[in-house]
Amino acid sequence: MLGTFQQSQLRIEIEASASAIHDSLLYPKKLEKWLLGQRFASGMPEELHPGFQFTTWTGPVPIHHQVDVVKPNCLRLLLSGGIDGFHEWYWGEGWIQSRLEGVTILPLNLGQTLSLLSLRQFLATQQDGESQK
C-alpha cells in the first residue's frame, strides 16, 4: 500500500438522539445521503451487519469495507484498498466520535472532519423535518 500511516480521532456534539445517529450510520439508504464524495456499490442490505462487505469510491479510489462490529452505540469497519486500516464510530445522546487509522495517500483528517460535519447537517435537517410534521 502506498501512502503514510495516519490516525485521527474526532468527537463532536450533535443535536440528535442516539437512535437517529445509529440509523444514519447503519442504514445504507441514509448513509448514502450524507457521506460526501462516496459512491456505493449496488446490492447494499437494508441494515449493515457483521461480516457484510462493500466498496465505496472516493473519486477513482476504491475503498473496501468489511463490517467488523455492530453494537447499539458502536460500528467498526475494516478498510482495505485506498485505505488499509479501520474506522470506528461511537455515539450517544447528543454526540458522536469517529476514530480512523490507516495507511493511505488520502487526507484522512480532512475527509473525517467533512464527513462529521455533513452528518451533523443531515441530522439537523432530519430533525427539522420531524418537528414540522
Q: Are strands 4-13 and 74-81 parallel, antiparallel or unpaired?
A: unpaired
pLDDT given at position 128:
64
**pLDDT in the model for residue 87:** 96
What is the structure's pLDDT at 40? 77
Q: Are 68 and 77 in contact (CB under 8 A)?
A: yes
Q: Which pTM value belongs to this model?
A: 0.90
CA 65 vs. chain centroid, Å, equals 11
pLDDT on residue 96? 97
Q: What is the model's pLDDT at position 43?
A: 82
All residue ranges of the chain with pLDDT < 50 are 133
Domains of the chain: 4-131 (3.30.530.20)
Query: Counting Cβ atoms within 10 Å, is residue 129 exposed (0-12), middle (13-18) or buried (19+)?
Result: exposed
Given a contact cutoff of 8 angstroms between Cβ atoms, the answer to whether 93 and 14 are in contact is no
* Contact predicate 6/108, CB 8 Å: yes
Spatial contact of 26 and 47, defined as CB atoms under 8 Å apart: yes
pLDDT value of position 35: 86
The 10s digit of each residue's pLDDT in 81-95 is 999 999 999 999 999
- Which residues, 6 or more positions from 88, have their beta carbon under 8 angstroms from its beta carbon? 74, 75, 76, 77, 98, 99, 100
Q: What pLDDT score does 34 carry?
A: 92
So what's the pLDDT on residue 21?
Answer: 96
The percent of the chain in helix, strand and coil, each rounded to the nearest 5, is 30, 45, 25
